[in-house]
Chains A and B, each alone.
Chain A
Amino acid sequence: MGLQPYLILAAVVFSIGLFGVLTRRNTVGILLGVELMLNAVNINLVAFSRFHGHTEGMVLTIFAICLTVAEVSLGLALVILLFRSRRTALADHIDWLKG
């Protein structure tokens, strides 16, 4: 089986994640969409590294996974902080930075 099916699969998952980021109103829902997009990128990295025989791509995937975990934990901490101060998790309501 060639590289193409893997890339198409990753593109489909990435697009679904993009759809989630664009349409979800809840900040946690948006974060889940970002997760899907990052996941699709990881599929691409591993597929390319396997098909070209460079293990460096897999090392990069480990870095990507670890950074994603850090990003999720910080993002959720921000959501909890937001909830405490504003009682909302909807991205549309977080607009008090407007000039």
Chain B
Amino acid sequence: MTLEVATFWVLAVVLVGSALAVVLSKNLFHSVLWLALALTGTAGVFLMLQAEFLAGVQVLHYAGGVVTVVVFAIVVTERLVGTKLSHTSRGVVRGAMVASLFLAFIGSEVMSWPLPAAPAALTGDPTKTIGTLLMTRYVLPFELLAVVLLVALLGASYFARPEE
């Protein structure tokens, strides 16, 4: 077993284990912390795919930003009600059936497709290529994204404004 395969298996176990903990944990707070681990594991997968920039974005933006926001929301809502949020599941058997049927379908499709067996040769630094693409071909979506983030920021602060 090569180092690459071993690293992949470690990452896969961490990712799947923490993802399961997110959906099965009885404590909402623990769920969020497991989600942080799952998102960091994904950053590891990105590193394996030689997407260092995306791994950085993932850790800073996603694991850092999203998890902080969710923790804040939980603390704020628990303060508002004064009780702990209930975090139970229902219809577990039906949910597991639907999810495993979906997995079986996707899995059989993936198994039957002819897929490349090795990564394409790297042409230049991926980070540099991403930067160039963002500033040339994808500059309009990039600017629109800035507008979307601004609108989301304004909308979120409007929704969560203090009561009059």
Contacts and interface: CB of A to CB of B under 8 A. Distances in A.
Interface of A: 1-9, 11-20, 22-26, 28-29, 31-33, 35-36, 39, 42-43, 46-47, 49-53, 55-56, 58-59, 61-63, 65-74, 76-81, 83-84, 87, 89-90, 92
Interface residues of B, number: 86
B156 to A, nearest CB: 4
Given A16-B19, A32-B70, A23 B116 contact: no
A16 B28 contact: no
A52 B116 CA distance: 8
Instruction: Determine chain A's interface SS by DSSP, over half rule.
Output: helix
Given A35-B35, A59-B130, A62-B130, A1 B80 contact: no
A61 B90 CA distance: 33
A13 B54 contact: no
A74 B158 CA distance: 10
B142 to A, nearest CB: 8
A28 B85 contact: yes
A72 to B, nearest CB: 5
Nearest to A52: B120
Contacts of A52: 116, 120
A38 B53 CA distance: 18
Interface of B: 4-5, 8, 12, 15-16, 19-20, 22-23, 28, 31-32, 35, 38-39, 42, 45-46, 49-51, 53-54, 57-58, 61-62, 65-66, 69-70, 72-74, 76-77, 80-81, 85-92, 94-96, 98-100, 102-103, 106-107, 110-111, 115-123, 126, 129-130, 133-134, 138, 141, 145, 148-149, 152-153, 155-157, 159-160, 163
Contact of A23 (B61, B92, B163): B92
A16 to B, nearest CB: 4
A17 B19 contact: yes
Given A68-B62, A80-B159, A17 B16 contact: no
26 contacts: A4-B111, A4-B115, A8-B110, A11-B103, A12-B16, A14-B102, A16-B20, A18-B102, A19-B95, A22-B91, A22-B94, A23-B96, A24-B23, A28-B74, A43-B42, A46-B45, A50-B119, A51-B120, A65-B57, A67-B148, A69-B62, A74-B152, A76-B156, A80-B159, A80-B160, A81-B160
